[in-house]
Amino acid sequence: MMVATAFATIRAVPRPGAIVALRGEDPSGRARVVFRPARGGDVARALVGRPAAAAPRLLRALLPAQGAAPGLACLAAVEAARGEAPDRDTRAARAMLALAETAVGLVAHACLDWPPLLSATPDAGCLRYGRAALDTLAARLWALADPRAPAARARPGRAGEPAMSALIEALQRAVLPRAPADPLRLAGWAARDAAPLARLARLARSRAPAAAAALPPPPPPLPALAATLASDPGFGRAPALADGGPAEPGTLARLPAPLAAEALGHGPAGARFLATAHLALAVLEGLERLAPPPLEVIAPAPGVGAARVEGMRGPFVLRLALDRAGRIAEFAAVVPTAWMLHPGGPFAAALAALPGTDLAGAGARVIAAFDPGAPVALARPSAGSG
């Protein structure tokens, strides 16, 4: 979570990827939300012309906040463009790595980001334990090889024990202590438990507006997004649905309708906190059963590959094409943050509705709930600034 100091004056144009809520911009007192789209072309310019074998590792360095998802998606897309397919254990291990990284992301929020919002003490020790488990899991599955190396082949999932057990323990302890295994009972858990996630969902619900906003649909499926990226490589800078409207990239859009409706009853921020609890429960089940959701990959045409990897904030999607020498000839991607920062989406609406009397406290909870993965500034402009 990245939050600028509340009530600070914004005089310079915010950096790309930022969304800024400026208080007192109209007579109603509602905030004016300003969005600065990211420079999506920077990554493409860095990759085009590079050997395909080097692209997965380079992409991880270019998009560090996205974790392993970009590298795994790039590797899968390169293989699809070449007409190759990894063995079953390697495919499963890649999916397990993406799922395990989501688990550590959830632990990081529970240990570091959420406690200060509740005047509680962060628990850095639990986070170190979870990260060490993730590192050990990757080392055991790939026998110390780089998972993003094209020639790397993984061991069967059972080779990840006991690192998998340690990761499960960290997730249970930090995110879902005393939580039920039945997702239909998570709302009851959130209503009474002392865990930071439960307390935040409870607090958000107690201060929720009378009617929750309608939920936008999820982003289009991979084939449709791949076709869009082929015709419009700049689509990833400010993605939108066909009608120009926003999409819901996160867990909330992937919940069954009854559970989504239950979550929306907690208000805009509370819905996302409760959806995060559902995500944590699904991740926990996938780790325990060694059954991660498979990575999605297609080859729309010879020499072309596209892949989709689900992360904590939603799907990372990319499309690439190779030239005859095996170099990246075309590259385009959409990160979850770009969907989240749609100027007409639920996050912008929640920021605009923040109470001026509690811009710092309520704003920090909204940012934590939506987890946009981009800098967010909350500001009260001074006279003459805009």
pLDDT in tens, 340-374: 989 889 998 888 888 766 777 888 999 999 998 88
- Note whether 180 and 191 are within 8 A (CB): no
Local confidence band at 5 (pLDDT 50, 70, 90 cut-offs): very low
The pLDDT tens digits for 231-247 are 998 899 899 999 999 99
% of the chain residues with pLDDT over 90: 63
Which uninterrupted H or E stretch holds 58?
Answer: helix 55-62
Query: Under CATH, what is the fold of the domain 38-340?
Result: Cytochrome-c3 Hydrogenase; chain B (1.10.645)
For residue 178, count other CB atoms closer than 10 A to its CB: 11
What pTM was computed for the model?
Answer: 0.91
Domain borders along the chain are 38-340
- Cα gap 370→272, rounded to integer Å: 6
For residue 192, count other CB atoms closer than 10 A to its CB: 10
**Residue 331: what are its φ and ψ, rounded to 5°?**
-150, 135
Higher pLDDT, 57 or 32: 57
Whether residue 16 has a cis bond before it, omega within 30° of 0: no
Local confidence band at 25 (pLDDT 50, 70, 90 cut-offs): low
- What average pLDDT does the segment 309-317 reach? 92
The pLDDT tens digits for 175-211 are 999 999 999 999 999 999 999 999 999 998 887 765 5
Give yes or no for residue 2 having a pLDDT over 60.
no
DSSP per position, 103-133: HHHHHHIIIIIHHHHTT----HHHHHHHHHH
